Amino acid sequence: MALYLIGDIQGCNGVFNRLLSQIDFSPSRDTLYVLGDMVNRGEDSAGVLNTLMRFGDSTKCVLGNHDLHLLAVAHGIRPAHQSDTLQPLLDMASSGAMLDWLRHQKLAISLIHNQRRWLLVHAGVLPQWSADQTLALAGEVEAALQADDYASFLRQMYGNTPNQWQDDLQGADRLRVIVNALTRLRFCDANGVMEFATKEGAGSAPQGFMPWFNVPNQRTAIEDVSIAFGHWSTLGLFARPSLQAPSILGLDTGCVWGGELTSYCLNSAKLAAISAPISTISHAT
């Protein structure tokens, strides 16, 4: 049984299916862990979700910012962006089932492979969070998304403040910080203050900030937990210290921008990638 991690698909269903064929993925034998942003900007978000839903328990997914955006657009809470490609999905008779499946996915996943603990998120983990705390906080958001009145959570989800975790945060502020860390984080300072304006690569950190995984004395690093994430296409493929023994693994290789869709096999420590011709991507700017 092979375990695969895969970066941001973002609705690029054709490339996604080509990658599944290349790695010879079988839902009866293997497990696919998707690191968020399953939908939007690509040509067929519904196709991606239908494939993942069809795989059943052989697929484990974390939610990304684009996945949450789809839920908010579907409820009229956020307007669609000019570059969104979500309307064909929303127009389908089966959209309700897809949205319901989406809101029942995780914000963080933990797994053990070869006596190594992995923590899977879409964007990042704040430096003061342990792996277990990250999972517990993700669970608070998951409970809000799975509640009958989850639209009320979506209405309060957006915003850049508070921009730092405090254990005594309550209500919407608490959930907003968790969502922002797990689905939007790129840069923060040594105290975990988040910065959201900068979207370029790791070398573009504003003064006083750094990539979240470079913060000294990060709890998950002390715990020797490996973290895999997506979200950061301008960072590209990132493995530290190496693909054979990564403690930090970034797998967003910019498929939706004409880059590649990349998977990493935990069993073999090997990558597989499929190039995404820009002609196959809709509204990729």
- Per-residue pLDDT of 93-137, as tens digits, reads 999 999 999 999 999 999 999 999 999 999 999 999 999 999 999
Q: How many CA atoms lie within 13 A of 79 on its CB side?
A: 3
Domain spans, the chain: 3-280
Give the C-alpha separation, 52 to 219, whole Å. Answer: 32
- Give the mean model confidence (pLDDT) for residues 150-175: 98
pLDDT above 70 for 166: yes
Read off the pLDDT of residues 39-92 as tens digits, 9 standing for 90 and up: 999 999 999 999 999 999 999 999 999 999 999 999 999 999 999 999 999 999
Q: What is the pLDDT of residues 199-243, one digit of tens each?
A: 999 999 999 999 999 999 999 999 999 999 999 999 999 999 999
Q: In sequence order, what are the residues at sequence separation of 6 or more whose Cβ sits closer than 8 angstroms to the Cβ of residue 154? A: 68, 71, 72, 75, 77
Whole-number pLDDT of residue 281: 45
Question: 């003061």: which residue's tokens?
Answer: 128
Residue-level pLDDT at 276: 85
* Tokens matching residue 274: 């499929």
Distance (Å, whole) CA 154 – CA 76: 10
Do you find a cis peptide bond into 216, omega within 30 degrees of 0?
Answer: no
Please write the tens of the pLDDT for every residue from 172-198: 999 999 999 999 999 999 999 999 999
3-280 in CATH: which number?
3.60.21.10
pLDDT at 278: 59
Does residue 165 have a pLDDT over 70? yes
The Cα 205–Cα 195 span in angstroms is 9
pTM: 0.96
Q: How far is CA 54 from CA 99, 101, 145, 157, 199, in A?
A: 14, 11, 22, 29, 34
Cα–Cα separations (whole angstroms), residue 282 to 23, 45, 82:
25, 11, 11
How would you classify the pairing of strands 238-240 and 248-250? antiparallel
Task: Identify the pLDDT of residue 280.
Answer: 43
CA distance 107 to 119: 11
Q: What is the pLDDT of residues 236-284, one digit of tens each?
A: 999 999 999 999 999 999 999 999 999 999 999 999 999 987 544 443 3
Question: Cα 148 from chain centroid?
Answer: 24
How would you list the strands of the sheet with 109-113, edge to edge?
Answer: 109-113, 116-120, 226-229, 248-250, 238-240
